[in-house]
Homo-oligomer: A and B are copies of this chain.
């Protein structure tokens, strides 16, 4: 691999999302960029997740999640939900659709999902999720991951 892996991988265009997870009355939300559609019929999204996170445990236990699209004006939300704070969901408005996963009301759009299966992927795990319902919530253009700079500290994660 090259010496400038981070700038090379930023050539892969990605959005920025808040992923909501819940298992019964335990819930959490975290920022992710590694999200894409992988099937038309059924409509499936793939989300690549750090398996050492608390949210991954909740996802595995509950089997549901929401993918909430952040807009260009919401980089601060990406940073907020990228933290490991215990109560980061407080102070934001959440709603629920079909699966019961927490949906971030201020996002541009949401995809309410049920996990289909998982696939190993190096230091991450890919959750392949069926989109049960989806809707637009607010007007705006999606935030692009590359415009967030090194907000997530990912420049440290390439060997």
Contacts and interface: CB of A to CB of B under 8 A. Distances in A.
Interface of A: 1-2, 5, 7-9, 11-15, 34-46, 48, 67, 69, 108-109, 111, 117, 119-124, 126, 128, 131-136, 142, 144-145, 154, 157-159
Given A119-B126, A122-B41, A122-B44, A15 B15 contact: no
A73 B123 CA distance: 35
A37 B15 contact: no
Given A1-B133, A128-B126, A121 B40 contact: no
A92 to B, nearest CB: 19
Contact of A39 (B35, B48, B111): B48
A77 B150 CA distance: 31
Contacts of A35: 12, 36
Nearest to A121: B38
Contacts of A157: 40-41
B11 A136 contact: yes
Nearest 8 CB-CB pairs, A to B? A39-B122, A13-B15, A119-B119, A38-B48, A40-B157, A38-B121, A11-B109, A11-B69
Contacts of A34: 36-38
A121 B44 CA distance: 7
Most buried by B among A44, A45, A159: A44
A128 B119 contact: yes
A5 B45 CA distance: 13
A123 B37 CA distance: 11
A16 to B, nearest CB: 8
